[in-house]
A = this chain, B = another copy of it.
Amino acid sequence: MQTVRIALGERAYDIHVGAGLVGRADLIVPVLTAKRVAIVTNTTVAPLYLDAVARPLADAGVSVATAILPDGEEYKDWQTLNAIYDAMLAARCDRQTTVIALGGGVIGDMAGFAAATFMRGVPFIQIPTTLLAQVDSSVGGKTGINHPRGKNMIGAFHQPRLVLADMNTLATLPQRELAAGMAEVIKHGLIRDVAYFEWLEANMDRLVRRDSAALARAVERSVEIKAEVVALDERETGPRALLNFGHTFGHAIEAGMGYGKWLHGEAVAAGMMMAADLSARLGQLRASDVARVRALLERAGLPVVAPALGGDRYLELMSIDKKAESGRIRFILLERLGSAYIRPETPPALLAETLTACAA
């Protein structure tokens, strides 16, 4: 087990990365305010891991409530969130009850938002069971739900007390979801660490075969990179925006297709290709580097061509994205492999070319 310490002053916490962590009540109990937890999970994860988490806690004298939600991004809404509140109130959870999110990013976001808002805020632990949640949701404190007009429009920043990233849970992950997580892993290399990007090029076959040591190394390094960026900027007013590389395009893809059609990571992969293409059109990224990005995404099993929604529709979808301010669309682009920057405005003609070239 490796541990990455997220330095956030009085809200600092540990991310443990290793095999067989879901049942480690000995890691959980010391961070509880009181011996009461509410485990939030879904119908897919519950049969696999709920007992493994709950039983050792119960054996340690912890009272355990559960909320089992339907599985899928399309349920990341108020109604499902309310099911968490209902379950917690029915179980007489109080302000000292710790919410444990057991599942992927949707569960983490919703359980985290429930924790942020239940009785104006209770403690929160994450046990992410997907690669995406392990490398992305476990750092940064973002929680929330979707709104018909946009993804994650309603939410809060709420830091966990602890994260347990168990490599064993990746063994049961569908191939498509593993690939979706790999999109964020590749993103971390692209925006900040060309050596890591090259390590991914050298090790993508091991990762796709789910070599546990390679996965643990990727989770650890990705979490470190995200933590470095977030530590600069906890409330996302400046450099943290770099983590949105591929996401302005990606969110437009998700919203345009209807949430749930493409996985978040798939949309981000196609979005990163659009951002790389736009970077090249601006004369920054070389064509050979764009080709390397495409090749690595393809080896990870990710889509590299966006759906043909039409240029106007893309512009409309992106202008209500949270990253849009004052009507201008702010993109995160690459000045080279391993280094991203924020571009407040882009020549409309070049953007139009990218929207045509990268969607089909």
Contact surface of A with B, Cβ cutoff 8 Å? 34, 78, 82, 85-86, 89-90, 92, 94-96, 116-121, 142-144, 147, 149-150, 152-157, 235-236, 319-320, 322, 324-326
Known contacts: A89-B147, A120-B155, A157-B121. The answer to whether A325 contacts B78 by CB under 8 A is no
User: B153, A89: Cβ atoms under 8 Å?
Assistant: yes
User: A156, B94: Cβ atoms under 8 Å?
Assistant: no
| Residues on the B chain within 8 Å of A34, using CB | 325-326
Stoichiometry, copies per complex: 2
User: How many angstroms between the C-alpha atoms of A96 and B117 in the bound complex?
Assistant: 22
User: B117, A156: Cβ atoms under 8 Å?
Assistant: yes
Question: In the complex, which residue of chain B has the Cβ closest to the Cβ of A147?
Answer: B85
User: How many angstroms between the C-alpha atoms of A148 and B322 in the bound complex?
Assistant: 32
| Residues on the B chain within 8 Å of A120, using CB | 142-144, 152, 155-157, 236
* A155 partner, pick from B119, B143, B319, beta carbons under 8 A: B119
User: A149, B89: Cβ atoms under 8 Å?
Assistant: yes
Question: In the complex, which residue of chain B has the Cβ closest to the Cβ of A113?
Answer: B117
Question: In the complex, which residue of chain B has the Cβ closest to the Cβ of A119?
Answer: B322
User: How many angstroms between the C-alpha atoms of A353 and B149 in the bound complex?
Assistant: 54
Q: A85-B154, A117-B117 are in contact. List 8 more A-B contacts (CB 8 A).
A: A89-B147, A89-B149, A94-B322, A94-B326, A96-B325, A96-B326, A119-B155, A120-B157
| Interface pairs (30), CB distance under 8 Å | A34-B325, A34-B326, A78-B78, A78-B82, A85-B147, A85-B153, A85-B154, A89-B147, A89-B149, A89-B150, A89-B153, A89-B320, A90-B149, A92-B320, A94-B324, A95-B322, A96-B325, A116-B156, A117-B154, A117-B155, A117-B156, A118-B153, A118-B154, A119-B153, A119-B322, A120-B142, A120-B155, A121-B156, A121-B157, A156-B156
A11 CB, nearest partner CB in chain B, Å: 12
Question: In the complex, which residue of chain B has the Cβ closest to the Cβ of A144?
Answer: B120
User: How many angstroms between the C-alpha atoms of A90 and B210 in the bound complex?
Assistant: 45
User: How many angstroms between the C-alpha atoms of A96 and B85 in the bound complex?
Assistant: 30
Q: Which 8 A-B pairs have the closest CB atoms?
A: A120-B155, A89-B149, A119-B322, A117-B154, A94-B325, A117-B156, A120-B156, A120-B157
User: A325, B156: Cβ atoms under 8 Å?
Assistant: no
User: How many angstroms between the C-alpha atoms of A236 and B96 in the bound complex?
Assistant: 12
| Residues on the B chain within 8 Å of A143, using CB | 120
| Residues on the B chain within 8 Å of A157, using CB | 120-121
A231 CB, nearest partner CB in chain B, Å: 18
Q: Which of A92, A120, A121 has the most chain B CB within a 10 Å cutoff? A: A120
